[in-house]
Copies of this chain bind each other. A is one copy, B any other.
Amino acid sequence: MGCAPMGQILYDEVMRYNPKNPYWFNRDRFVLSTGHGCMLQYALLHLAGYDSVKQNPGHPENFETPGVEVTTGPLGQGIANAVGLALAEKHLAARFNKPDDEIVNHYTYVILGDGCQIEGISNEACSLAGHWGLGKLIAFYDDSHISIDGDTEIAFTEDVSARFKALGWHTIWIKNGNTGYDEIRAAIAEAKAVTDKPTLIKLTTTIGFGSPNKANSYAVHGSALGAKEVDATRQNLGWPYEPFHVPEDVQSHWSRHVPEGAALEAEWNAKFAEYENKYEEETETLKGIISGSCPTYNPESICDATRNLSQQCLIALAKVLPGLLGGSADLASSNMTLLKMFGDFQKDTPEERNVRFGVREHGMGAICNGIGLHSPGLIPYCATFFVFTDYMRAAMRISALCEAGLSTREGRVHRFRQLRRRQARPHPPRHRLGAGDRHQGSGGAEEGGKKVRVVSLVSWELFDEQTEEYKESVLPGVVTARVSYVGSKGKAVGIDHFGSSAPAGTIYKEFGISTAKSL
């Protein structure tokens, strides 16, 4: 409602392309972080010629509606996704553009509202966007000063623009966000001219603009206007048409984007053909990133601590996957996530692949979602200690929901597999590639001559999928004295309350977990 003019101008900028255009990789991206306002997005997609708007989910779903880049709704996620999309553009541009051939060059636009601004995740992601100098990220902040509970006065009185300046952003304030079309166009031009900083365009708007009785009230936030007030609004705005009627002048205004898009497509295709001729190797790599095709990878079986094996895997994969990039939330040296042959992705070295997220688990997760949704061949990974996944659960849920990360199709790695336990295990699995593996242990010598079979079960799920015969060979029914994991006659050694923080030896002693007590 209040953001309709924003949206219109935005789509003038963004939706240049015929949706049937096979070239989509270098398109501008648009994220509606205020996902509950997707009515606007559907209407504009329809006007822009997309025939994708058939079902209308209450929040935009990337897997449901072509033209929707990312699934949004939970507040603050979308702006962080947009940071990921802009990071992807900056990274690919730095790696593949040539002085005479700029084939990666697009903007990322995002509309966010008060709710997104209030959520901590947006501050995390926007702090990184400023740090990385994502000059092609343009954020429209719909300052409608109304939230579900009423005026934002009751809980949100900070100076948002000043905060963004502190985060290293360029900021613009448009006081008439309702009808200030020229100011909005000028602001977009200004934002584009600032190439070393992301831009926040704050638009002070009236929620429910045009509604004579409900504008500027929380009554229009989560509820429909109602037939009577819709009529009054139409009258007030001078809109005499039937519902769903698109007047001819509007149609012709929007339809001009189709030939414009076709011309831009032809231009880019010519550029890319030239690039292909000159830079054969780069083209092959880039095509893999655009399409998501992957080489075959055969891991070797080696013995080491799991976090070291994980790093070796990442490094091996990074050699064959040109789109693999990522990092940790300030735990790179603990999670072993550094790709040793690359440097840090930073403002002035965006071609590198180690992303330093700082202690921002939530922002990290949502930024990775954005990276993953940029191109099928871009494969982000991220890492923290297992317990701190609590900080990023909302991003993990959305990742699964929108198939940004948990999918394994087309060779994608399980993006959150790096998440690991904080407390180092005293006996790391000896062999991690099988579902279960056994060793005739020498433990008997330690404790009264008992024979001990050590089973390293790295995945319950994988184990359950094996044949009964195999399972019997690993955990024979005749051996009933089992110490964690499992079995109806097994004995679980562990705790059923919260742990404590101390070295492993101290903790085991404190809780009475020892071979003497267990066997």
* Chain A interface residues (CB < 8 Å from chain B): 57-59, 61, 73-76, 114-115, 118-124, 127-128, 130-131, 147-149, 152, 154-163, 165-168, 328, 330-334, 344, 346, 356-363, 387-388, 390-391, 393-394, 397, 400-401, 498, 500-502
Contacts and interface: CB of A to CB of B under 8 A. Distances in A.
Contacts of A114: 359
A501 B358 CA distance: 34
Contact of A500 (B57, B357, B359, B363): B57
A13 B486 CA distance: 54
Nearest to A114: B359
Contacts of A390: 74, 393-394, 397
A168 B360 CA distance: 23
Q: How many copies does the complex hold?
A: 2
Contact of A120 (B57, B61, B360, B498): B360
A358 B147 contact: yes
A361 B388 CA distance: 16
Contacts of A332: 148-149
Contacts of A346: 154
Contact of A149 (B155, B333, B397): B333
Given A394-B388, A401-B498, A356 B124 contact: no
Contacts of A149: 328, 330-333, 356
B131 A359 contact: no
Given A149-B332, A330-B148, A332-B149, A127 B357 contact: no
B115 A498 contact: no
A349 to B, nearest CB: 11
A147 B359 contact: yes
23 contacts: A57-B502, A61-B500, A73-B501, A115-B330, A118-B360, A119-B120, A119-B360, A120-B120, A120-B121, A123-B123, A127-B158, A128-B155, A131-B155, A147-B330, A147-B358, A148-B330, A149-B331, A154-B344, A158-B166, A162-B162, A163-B163, A390-B397, A401-B498
A148 B115 contact: no
A161 B501 CA distance: 33
A72 B250 CA distance: 58
A449 B330 CA distance: 64
A149 B57 CA distance: 42
A334 B163 contact: no
A361 B119 CA distance: 8
A224 to B, nearest CB: 11
